[in-house]
């Protein structure tokens, strides 16, 4: 097997953008390993529009967005292998992968970019009681069946969870002639984007039941219906509020989990909040030369941000291969989330390696109205930005100038928080 400087695990939006950026940064020895039969990842099945407004200043569908990057990968003659599953990443950056043609093979890489994306939380993890018939699909699995393979997994549908994929699928199934009974959401707010609630539910009169969950599944062979109940503020079903909805399909859109089995076995330190690796300003994990980007790092709402972060990861991986790790002269600055902010990416910053700007992305744990996103440098507030709404479904960011950080001599900690005043 040919050896490569940079091995990228995953040929979805993150892997593609990382590859393109690494190549443009001057590295000519890049390999993308993709388990599906084509590049593009989950974007191929996201045939709806709404991608790329930030990156391309136009609204693209998922496959169109993916093709912009796939075209670049091909033009730049970056190597990739399809139908190839990465089986292991060792701490020394040896990547073990497998496919039909090459068999199982190992590549000793100088840098590895983790871009495996995420998976959907299954029914089992939700402990929904009831039978276990056919007709319980995660929304993404149903999306693949409908959009790529052209099969209808159901005709009468209840969706649990108002994540974006669930909302998109509500409209998609309606277009294909199915009846979507309702979308039930455990939380008092939706995890999906506003535009999707408007365009996928409101437009078609599909009710969104906030603070509701599925408490029983009926049907031994195929789903025959579900019972939905209201939940209290501790998310416990309220007795007496149960209502039966006839349906042949229950679709779940109840959250995404970064797919970090390979990262864990490589020994990468993981952030328990994001279920993704801890990274520094260069998107480098706790293992030198192993970078992470996209949904494997933290679940994004917008693919534009994935591409942007991945490009940085790609650039830094190329720089790492070229020069080895740039030794940081000063101590690393910690980036901490407090208050309403649940986590930050990155969690450490080295000023030596930082470009002109530091973008810190985070999510909040509850809905805030007319609140402030604040940044403190060792206790001194430097940002106090008013926001009409901050919601858990949408990723937030603050951008700090490098001068701001260097001006603060001996800076040890950057704190990101949400304040009500």
Partner 1 sequence: MEKRELTCIGCPMGCLVTVEMENGEILNVTGNTCKIGDTYARKEVTNPTRIVTSTVMIEGSDFTRLPVKTASDIPKSSIFAVMEVINHAHAKAPVKIGDVVIKDVAGTGVDVVATRNIA
Partner 2 sequence: MYDIIIIGAGVTGAAVARELSRYDARICVLEREEDVCCGTSKANSAIVHAGFDAAEGSLMARFNVRGNELMEDLAKDLDIPFRRNGSLVVCIHKEELDGLQELYDRGVKNGVPDLRILSKEELLEMEPNLSDNAEGALYAPTGGIICPFKLNIALAENAFVNGVEFRFNTRAEHLSRDEEGLWHIRTNNGEYVTRYVVNAAGLYADFFHNMVSEKKIHITPRRGDYCILDKETGDLVDKTIFPQPSKMGKGILVAPTIHGNLFVGPTAIDIDDKEGTATTAEGIAQLIEKGGMYVKDLPIRKVITSFAGLRAHEDGHEFILGEVEDAPHFIDCAGIESPGLTSCPAIGEYIGGMLRDKMNLTEKKDWKGTRKDVISTEGLSLEERNKLIRENPAFGTIICRCESVTEGEILDAIHRPLGARSLDGVKRRTRAGMGRCQAGFCSPRVMEILQRELNLPMEEITKTGGKSNMVFYRTKEEGGHTA
Using the minimum distance from each CB to partner 1, give the nearer residue, 34 or 230: 34
Q: Could you count the other beta carbons within 10 Å of the beta carbon of residue 400? A: 20
Is residue 48 at the binding interface for partner 1, with CB under 8 A as the rule? Answer: yes
| Position among 284, 301, 309, 315 found at the interface with partner 1 (CB under 8 A) | 301
Nearest in space to 42 (alpha carbons), one of 118, 155, 127: 118
Q: Total residues at the site for partner 2 (CB under 8 A)?
A: 52
With 0-12 / 13-18 / 19 or more C-beta atoms within 10 angstroms meaning exposed / middle / buried, residue 231 is buried
Q: Could you count the other beta carbons within 10 Å of the beta carbon of residue 248? A: 20
Task: Tell me the C-alpha distance between 394 and 249, whole Å.
Answer: 28
| Position among 126, 302, 328, 351 found at the interface with partner 1 (CB under 8 A) | 302
Q: Compute the half-sphere exposure of residue 185: CA atoms within 13 Å on the CB side of its CA.
A: 20
x/- mask, partner 2, residues 135-164, rule CB under 8 A, reads ---x-xx--xxx--xxxxxxx---------
Q: Write down the least CB distance from residue 151 to partner 2, Å.
A: 4
| Position among 109, 136, 193, 341 found at the interface with partner 1 (CB under 8 A) | 193
Tokens of 80: 């990739």
255, 121 Cβ separation under 8 angstroms: yes
Give which of partner 1, partner 2, none residue 302 binds (C-beta under 5 to 8 Å, depending on kind): partner 1
| Position among 103, 150, 240, 272 found at the interface with partner 1 (CB under 8 A) | 150
22, 79 Cβ separation under 8 angstroms: no
What pairing do the DSSP bridges indicate for beta strands 357-364 and 396-401? antiparallel
Angle (nearest 5°) at CA 14 between 11 and 16: 50
x/- mask, partner 2, residues 6-45, rule CB under 8 A, reads -----------------------------x----------
Give residues 295-354 in contact with partner 2 (rule: CB under 8 A): none
Task: Tell me the C-alpha distance between 397 and 394, whole Å.
Answer: 10
* Cβ partners under 8 Å of residue 327, min gap 6: 352
What torsion do the CA atoms of 319, 416, 371, 297 make, to the nearest 10 degrees? 50
x/- mask, partner 1, residues 102-121, rule CB under 8 A, reads --------------------
317, 6 Cβ separation under 8 angstroms: yes
Is residue 177 at the binding interface for partner 2, with CB under 8 A as the rule? Answer: yes
Q: Write down the least CB distance from residue 178 to partner 2, Å.
A: 9
**Which residues are near partner 2 by CB under 8 A?**
35, 83, 85, 87, 96, 98-104, 106, 119-120, 122-125, 127, 129-134, 138, 140-141, 144-146, 149-155, 174-177, 215-218, 220-222, 237, 248
Q: Which residues bind to partner 1, rule: CB under 8 A?
A: 44, 47-50, 53, 59, 61, 63-64, 67, 146-150, 172, 175-176, 193-195, 197-199, 203, 301-302, 388-389, 394
């Amino acid at each position: 097997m040919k050896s490569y400087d940079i091995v990228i695990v995953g040929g979805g939006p993150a892997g593609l953008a990382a590859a393109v950026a690494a190549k443009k940064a001057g590295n000519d020895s890049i390999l993308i390993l993709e388990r599906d039969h084509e590049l593009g990842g989950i974007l191929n099945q996201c045939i709806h529009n709404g991608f790329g407004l930030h990156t391309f200043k136009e609204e693209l569908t998922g496959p169109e967005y993916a093709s912009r990057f796939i075209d670049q990968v091909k033009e730049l003659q970056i190597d990739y292998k399809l139908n190839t599953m990465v089986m292991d990443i060792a701490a020394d950056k040896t990547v073990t992968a497998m496919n039909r043609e090459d068999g199982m093979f190992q590549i000793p890489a100088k840098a590895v970019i983790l871009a495996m994306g995420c998976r959907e939380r299954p029914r089992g993890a939700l402990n929904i009681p009831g039978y276990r018939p056919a007709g319980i699909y995660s929304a993404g699995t149903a999306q693949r069946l409908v959009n790529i393979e052209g099969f209808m997994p159901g005709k009468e549908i209840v969706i649990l969870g108002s994540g974006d994929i669930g909302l998109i699928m509500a409209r998609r199934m309606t277009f294909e002639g199915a009846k979507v009974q309702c979308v039930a959401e455990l939380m008092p707010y939706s995890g999906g984007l506003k535009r999707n609630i408007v365009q996928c539910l409101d437009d078609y009169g599909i009710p969104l039941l906030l603070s509701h969950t599925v408490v029983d599944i009926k049907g031994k062979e195929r789903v025959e219906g579900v019972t939905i109940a209201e939940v209290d503020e501790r998310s416990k079903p309220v007795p007496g509020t149960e209502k039966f909805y006839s349906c042949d399909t229950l679709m779940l859109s109840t959250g995404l989990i970064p797919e970090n089995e390979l990262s864990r076995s490589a020994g990468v330190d993981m952030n328990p909040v994001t279920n993704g690796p801890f990274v520094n300003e260069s998107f480098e994990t706790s293992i030198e030369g192993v970078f992470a980007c996209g949904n494997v790092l933290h679940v994004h709402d917008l693919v534009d941000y994935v591409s942007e972060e991945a490009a940085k990861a790609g650039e830094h991986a190329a720089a790492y291969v070229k020069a080895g790790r740039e030794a940081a002269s000063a101590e690393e600055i910690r980036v901490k989330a407090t208050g309403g902010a649940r986590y930050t990416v990155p969690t450490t910053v080295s000023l030596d390696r930082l470009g002109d700007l530091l973008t810190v992305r985070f999510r909040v744990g509850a809905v805030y109205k007319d609140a402030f996103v604040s940044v403190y440098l060792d206790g001194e507030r430097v940002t106090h930005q008013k926001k009409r709404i901050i919601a858990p479904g949408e990723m937030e960011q603050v951008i700090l100038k490098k001068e701001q950080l260097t001006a603060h001599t001996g800076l040890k900690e950057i704190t990101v928080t949400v304040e009500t005043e």
